[in-house]
Structure 1
Amino acid sequence: MTGNVVLEVGDWLMVEFRSFCLIDDPSAGTDQPEGAPVEDVEDYLPPPDPPEGHDLLTAAPGIVAITTGVFRGMVHVTFRVSDTPPATVDTEEWDTVEELGFRALSESTRIASGEFVPVVGARGAFTDTLTADGAGNYGVRAYERGRHLALGRSRSEDDDYTRERYLVEIWPTGERLLPRRRIKGQAPPLLG
């Protein structure tokens, strides 16, 4: 069960450099108080490595990176945007679940892959902003299944798609920035 879902979109996405991201779209402009220094996501790229004990999510202002198993290849991703926190955490069908807080710097946050440039999904599914309230604090919870199956491999767009599946839930948290937590999953594998 989830919070009040305002957008749910899923599709296959080509990932590169073992990741896909949520990244502020600089063309959308920032939502900073007048006279405040303007932050730019470029100041935080690439995002830092996840801390010990976490390997699925990492974040910096304006960007959240989700680490995949495949180095390059097609993975299936579903984004679920809610205007309230999800009511439950689904731990039954997923291998790993992590959650953290994310601060969006602009009015629009889009999907990016590999080179931190906003992209459109294989069938045009990922065109909407994933931050329903514009700039501000959000919770991000990522679920993964099958990430270990193609660990470190590289596939072209013509190869069979991976069996990696991801669900990313996003919701506004107001003034509160959620702490990082690993909800489910064994010790992170070495992603060399």
Structure 2
Amino acid sequence: MQESDDAFLALEFPDEFDFGAFLSTHPGRLDITSAGHTHTASLAVEVWDGLAPVQDTVAWEEQAEADFESVSGQVAVWSMSLGRLDDVITLADSGGSWRVRVSSAGRAEVKALAESEEHIKGVERYLVQFWPAGS
């Protein structure tokens, strides 16, 4: 995920992508590493006015939090295989400082299925929660 307008970025995706980290950050950009490849994961994004509710750690195999600065208040999802997706996530009317929590489930299953020839869809799931920093 990154600023919707990549002109705001000093480092464009996938430059300096860290394949070993579940979540890594660059100015205006969040890199999330999947447990599999050549599959379609599901993604839900929530934007909160205050602190986002903590997710049950039993339901999620991986979770991480980070700071995120947005210049525009709009974020887009980018994929290694598809590039930029059409949907825009509006955090606010203008830029600001945010906290983000990324939770993922289905990682072990998608990793095991990655060696198969079948089309894998929705096995790996992500929940990305944004809330204003300092909430």
Does the alignment reach a TM-score above 0.5? yes
TM-score, normalised via structure 2 length: 0.78
The one of 3, 7, 11 aligned to 1:44: 11
After superposing on structure 2, the runs of 4+ consecutive aligned residues of structure 1 that deviate more than 4 Å are none
How many residue pairs match? The answer is 132
Higher alpha-carbon Rg: 1
Instruction: Give per-residue Cα distances to partners, 1:32-67, cap 9 Å, x unaligned.
Output: xxxxxxx831x22324527xxx82211111111111
Structure 2 residue ranges without an equivalent (≥5): none
Contact kept? 1:130, 1:170, Cα under 8 Å: no
Number of the residue aligned with 1:24: 3
Identity %: 23
Structure-1-length-normalised TM-score: 0.58
**Structural RMSD (CA):** 3.0
Call closer, same or farther: CA 1:134–1:70 in 2, change over 3 Å: farther
Alignment-derived partner of residue 77 in structure 1:
43
Cα pair 1:146 1:164 within 8 Å, conserved: yes
Seen in structure 2, the aligned counterparts of structure 1 residues 40 and 116 have a Cα distance that, compared at 3 Å, is: farther
Equivalent residue in structure 1 for 2:105, among 145, 149, 158 = 145
Deviation string 1:55-105 (CA, Å, 9 cap, x unpaired) is 221111111111111222111111111111114332121111111111112
Q: Where in structure 1 are there 5+ consecutive unaligned residues?
A: 1-21, 28-38, 121-126, 177-192
Q: Provide closer, same or farther for how the CA distance between residues 155 and 139 of structure 1 changes in structure 2, counting only shifts above 3 A.
A: farther
Q: In the alignment, what sits opposite 2:78? A: 112
Map 1:160-179 onto structure 2 (within 5 A): 160-173=120-133
Q: Identify which of 44, 59, 68 aligns with 2:34.
A: 68
Equivalent residue for 2:57? 91
Contact 1:140/1:171 (8 A) holds in 2: yes
Number of the residue aligned with 2:94: 134
Q: Distance in 2 between matches of 1:40 and 1:155?
A: 39
